[in-house]
Amino acid sequence: MRERLLSIAFAAALGCISGSACAMSTESHPSACRVIGGEKLPAESGGSDALCNAIAAAAAEQAPGLGYSVEVTVHPLSRLSASVTTEDGRKLEGLNFTRMDRPLSQSAFKHFASSIAAELAKAGGKKS
C-alpha cells in the first residue's frame, strides 16, 4: 500500500512540476505497482520504491492519464520481468530487462520504466 501511495504522489508531483498534470481534469486513473522479490535488488538501487517511482514517472510522462497496474518480478542475474494491465483490464505483452554488465541501479530502473511506459502509451489508443 505504501509503495502505491508513494508512486501516485510522486507521479502527481512530477506532473505538477512540469505543468501538464495540473491543467488536466481531476478524473482519477488508478495505478498500482507491485514488486515481487524486491529484497533481491541491490540496496544502493533504492529498491522496490525506486523502481515503482521510476515506472510512475515514466508513465506520467509518456502515457499521461492512463491507469495501469504493473507487477515486476526480480529474477537472479540482474533480470526483471513485468506484467502490465491497463485500467480497462487489457494485459500487455510481458516485458523483460536484463543488465549483463553490472548490478541493477536507478538508471536501469529508468530504462525499464521507459519501456513499460512506451508500451502503455501504445496500448492507450487501442481497444481489443
Grid coordinates standing for 101?
554488465
- The pTM of the full predicted model, rounded to 2 decimals, is 0.75
Mean pLDDT rounded to a whole number for the chain: 82
Q: Is the pLDDT of residue 27 over 80?
A: no
Contact in structure between 56 and 39 (CB atoms under 8 Å) = no
pLDDT class for 125, splitting at 50, 70, 90? low
Contacts with 92 (C-beta within 8 Å, 6 or more apart), sequence order = 84, 85, 86, 119, 120, 123
Q: Percent of the chain, pLDDT > 70?
A: 73
Contacts with 83 (C-beta within 8 Å, 6 or more apart), sequence order = 70, 71, 73, 91, 94
Q: Is the pLDDT of residue 8 over 90?
A: no
Can you give the residue ranges of every domain in the chain?
2-124
At 35 the pLDDT is 98
Q: Is the pLDDT of residue 95 over 60?
A: yes
